[in-house]
């Protein structure tokens, strides 16, 4: 009786090909060893898959390695052992290449997605997209739920394994229909700074710079945190999720409270 393993080996033997580093090869995992797996790739020497080359994200390491035995799939050929001519294989590196291809497509299509929060530190938030670690700088965080955060890709560099995301940009993109250049809206004053103040409009933080207040002698005491003011949208920065507003020639302060 011809087993699935033997049938696969017979098919591979029909092809006379030379393997090189960087090739993607098909193979069947045949044996589980202490620090790796033996893989039948249809050559005289069996391939070797180190266990650290299994997956991108080590925190999700497969506990039961026996489930991989007799699995047939693609592998990335890392290198050849000069002495034994054995091919050193990787699943992780192949998944890494494919993950970056998907990330680049997501970036091109400007997609907004919800990601799990892996860790929060002083600089921002660490998360994962397609198994690749991403970082959301503190300056690009607007709203955080309990376990996830809405995100959009800001910059990518697969050569340096850098994936920078933006929560602000994602929030603005999904709310863009609410904002138009020149439109008059009401916003709640949330923060007072020496260079101006920040206003919350539909959950998005907008900057009212001192130059757009219309008074050279900017008096911060004129503005009260929590009060509503009427503002005019003058600039939308979609990439960085930034909104700039102005109150020049408008009625500045209202007596209304945020509902």
pLDDT at 256: 44
Tell me the C-alpha distance between 50 and 134, whole Å: 26
| Bridge partner residues of 137 (DSSP) | 124
pLDDT of 192-206, one tens digit each?
A: 888 889 999 988 889
Tell me the C-alpha distance between 221 and 228, whole Å: 15
86 touches 48 (CB < 8 A):
yes
- Mark the ranges of the chain whose per-residue pLDDT is less than 70: 1-17, 56-66, 143, 145, 215-221, 251-259
pLDDT at 257: 42
Ordered structural domains, the chain, with CATH? 4-90 (2.40.50.140), 98-173 (2.40.50.140), 179-257 (2.40.50.140)
Decide: pTM greater than 0.75. no
pLDDT of 134-161, one tens digit each?
A: 999 999 998 676 789 999 999 999 999 9
Q: Where are the beta strands (DSSP E) in the chain?
A: 24-32, 36-40, 47-50, 72-80, 87-90, 112-116, 119-120, 124-129, 132-137, 148-157, 162-166, 184-193, 196-201, 204-209, 227-237, 242-246, 253-257
């Amino acid at each position: 009786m011809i087993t699935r393993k033997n049938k696969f080996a017979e098919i591979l033997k029909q092809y006379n090909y030379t393997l090189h580093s960087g090739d993607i090869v098909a193979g069947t995992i045949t044996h589980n060893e202490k620090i790796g797996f033996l893989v039948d790739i249809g050559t005289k020497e069996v391939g070797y898959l180190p266990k650290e080359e299994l997956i991108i994200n080590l925190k999700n390491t497969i506990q039961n390695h026996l489930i991989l035995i007799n699995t047939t799939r693609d592998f990335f050929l890392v290198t050849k052992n000069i002495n034994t001519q054995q091919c050193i294989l990787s699943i992780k590196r192949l998944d890494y290449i494919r993950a970056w291809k998907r990330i680049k497509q997501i970036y091109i299509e400007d997609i907004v997605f919800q990601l799990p929060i892996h860790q929060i530190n002083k600089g921002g938030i660490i998360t994962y997209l397609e198994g690749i670690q991403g970082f959301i700088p503190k300056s690009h965080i607007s709203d955080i739920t309990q376990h996830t955060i809405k995100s959009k890709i800001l910059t990518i560099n697969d050569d340096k394994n850098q994936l920078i995301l933006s929560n602000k940009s994602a929030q603005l993109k999904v709310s863009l229909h609410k904002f138009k250049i020149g439109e008059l809206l009401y916003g709640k004053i949330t923060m007072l700074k020496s260079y101006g103040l920040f206003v919350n409009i539909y959950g998005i933080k907008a900057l009212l710079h001192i130059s757009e207040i219309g008074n050279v002698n900017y008096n911060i005491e004129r503005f009260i945190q929590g009060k509503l003011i009427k503002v005019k949208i003058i600039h939308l920065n979609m990439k960085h999720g930034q909104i700039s507003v102005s109150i020049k020639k408008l009625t500045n302060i209202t007596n209304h409270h945020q509902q």
